[in-house]
Structures are given as structure tokens and as C-alpha cells.
């Protein structure tokens, strides 16, 4: 007997029938969350108000995300720029680059991950909550941090092969330094992440990679 194949492969979670999820609802919630998080901060995102602003109800939100933290985590994952792409920074023909300007440029991109204020506010709140909520921390790292580290590793590996990076530098270290410095500068010290700061940082890193 031939298995009956459903004519259309459904993309919704469980697989079978039922009223399909409103496709506009999820994005609307994330957009509302982004607005609220910059208006009121991480703890100012109240589920009731979030639902109202998104034109829906708490119930619908909790059907998609298990908690408020999960919503904000998804918000960050969506707004965070994708990690550095090696090929975009180290084009094949660029082999004999006089200095290591290409690696430095890539590092600048890494640092600019935290340029969106909504992202910054969410990240702080999530980290504070994740400290003693291991599952949240694991998801946070899997969704946001590990791709970044992987990209940095690939970047460093390519640079090493081309002789433009000392062998003792690791991608993880580079990522820690770039994003960490921005975090400290912006969030902890409350300073603007302007071009002057990025220039200083780039010069520091460029000097270290000599």
C-alpha cells in the first residue's frame, strides 16, 4: 500500500492539520519587543503590553515561546548581524597584502555586532538571567556566540595560512577581545561606539597581530 503523501509539506511545528499559525504574528511580536526594549529596557518588556502592541494576546505569545526570555533571545538572534564572512574580507587575489589590514577590518566587523541598542539591552538582561538558568545560557551561546566564534576561527585560520597572523592567536581570543571591548566601552562605561573608538581599537589589534 502506498503511503498517502500530504500534497503540501507543512512547515508548522507539529506537522499535521489544524488551523495554521498566523504568519504575521511572530514577526509582529518581535517587532513590538524591539520597540519596547529600547523604550523601557529589558525588564520593562511586560508580556501583556507586548501582546497588546503586537495586536495579539499573551496566550498566542506563550504558544510560540516558553518564556519572556525566549522572546528576547529570538529578538537578539534576529537583529544581530551575521558573523564575519571570511571570503568577504580576504578575497583570493589579495594575497600579498602589505600589512594585515584585512584581518583588522574583519575584526572591526566583529566589534560592530553590538551596534543595535535593542540588541545591547537584550543581551545584558539575558546574561543577567542566564547566570543561574543554565538552559537559557546554553541557548544564548548556541544561537549567538558559537557562530561568531566559528567565523572568527575561520578568519584567523585563513590569515595564518597567508602569514598575516601570529600562530599563537586564536579566533576565540580575537572574538573575546573585539566584542568584549565594545561591551565594556558601551554598556559598562556608557560611552558611544563611535569611529574614534573603533579606530583606536583597530590600531591596537593591528599592532598586536604584527
C-alpha dihedral sign at 75, 77, 82, 83: positive
Q: Residue 36 or 183: which CB sits closer to DNA?
A: 36
Closest CA to 120 of 76, 84, 77: 76
Least distance to DNA from the beta carbon of 139, Å?
14
Q: Which stretches of the chain bind a second copy, using CB under 8 A?
A: 39-44, 120-121, 123-125, 127-129, 131-133, 137, 141, 145, 149, 166, 168-170, 172-173, 175-177, 179-185, 187-190, 200-201, 203-205, 207-210
The residue among 68 and 185 lying less far from DNA, judged by its C-beta, is: 68
x/- mask, DNA, residues 48-87, rule CB under 7 A, reads x------xxxxxx-xxx-xxxx------------------
CB 116 within 8 A of CB 48: no
User: 37 or 111, CB closer to DNA?
Assistant: 37
**Phi/psi of residue 122, each to 5°?**
-65, -45
Q: What nine digits make up the cell of 43?
A: 525588564
Of 17-25, 168-176, 177-185, 186-194: span binding DNA (CB under 7 A): 17-25
Which whole-number Å values give the CA distances from 61 to 22, 36, 139, 150, in the listed order? Answer: 12, 15, 19, 32
User: Stretches 18-26, 134-142, 171-179, 192-200: which one binds DNA (CB under 7 A)?
Assistant: 18-26
Is 4 or 132 the residue whose CB approaches a second copy more closely?
A: 132
Integer CA distances (angstroms), 164 to 95, 155, 182, 207, in order: 10, 11, 24, 12
Q: Toward DNA, which CB reaches closer, 8 or 194?
A: 8
Of residues 31-50, which lie at the interface with DNA (CB under 7 A)? 45-48
Binding site for DNA (CB under 7 A): 4, 6-8, 10, 12-22, 25, 45-48, 55-60, 62-64, 66-69
Amino acid at each position: 500500500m502506498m503511503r498517502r503523501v500530504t500534497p503540501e509539506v507543512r512547515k508548522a511545528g507539529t506537522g499535521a492539520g489544524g488551523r495554521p499559525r498566523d504568519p504575521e504574528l511572530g514577526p509582529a511580536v518581535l517587532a513590538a519587543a524591539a520597540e519596547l526594549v529600547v523604550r523601557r529596557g529589558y525588564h520593562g518588556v511586560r508580556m501583556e503590553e507586548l501582546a497588546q502592541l503586537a495586536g495579539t494576546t499573551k496566550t498566542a505569545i506563550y504558544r510560540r515561546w516558553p518564556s519572556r526570555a525566549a522572546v528576547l533571545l529570538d529578538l537578539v538572534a534576529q537583529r544581530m548581524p551575521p558573523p564575519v564572512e571570511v571570503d568577504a574580507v580576504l578575497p583570493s587575489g589579495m594575497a600579498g597584502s602589505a600589512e594585515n589590514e584585512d584581518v583588522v577590518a574583519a575584526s572591526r566587523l566583529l566589534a560592530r555586532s553590538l551596534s543595535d541598542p535593542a540588541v545591547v539591552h537584550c543581551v545584558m538582561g539575558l546574561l543577567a538571567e542566564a547566570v543561574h538558568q543554565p538552559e537559557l545560557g546554553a541557548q544564548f551561546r548556541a544561537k549567538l556566540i558559537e557562530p561568531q566564534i566559528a567565523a572568527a576561527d575561520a578568519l584567523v585560520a585563513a590569515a595564518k595560512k597567508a602569514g598575516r597572523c601570529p600562530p599563537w592567536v586564536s579566533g576565540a581570543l580575537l572574538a573575546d577581545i573585539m566584542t568584549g571591548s565594545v561591551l565594556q566601552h558601551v554598556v559598562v562605561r556608557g560611552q558611544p561606539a563611535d569611529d574614534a573608538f573603533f579606530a583606536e581599537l583597530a590600531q591596537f589589534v593591528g599592532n598586536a597581530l604584527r
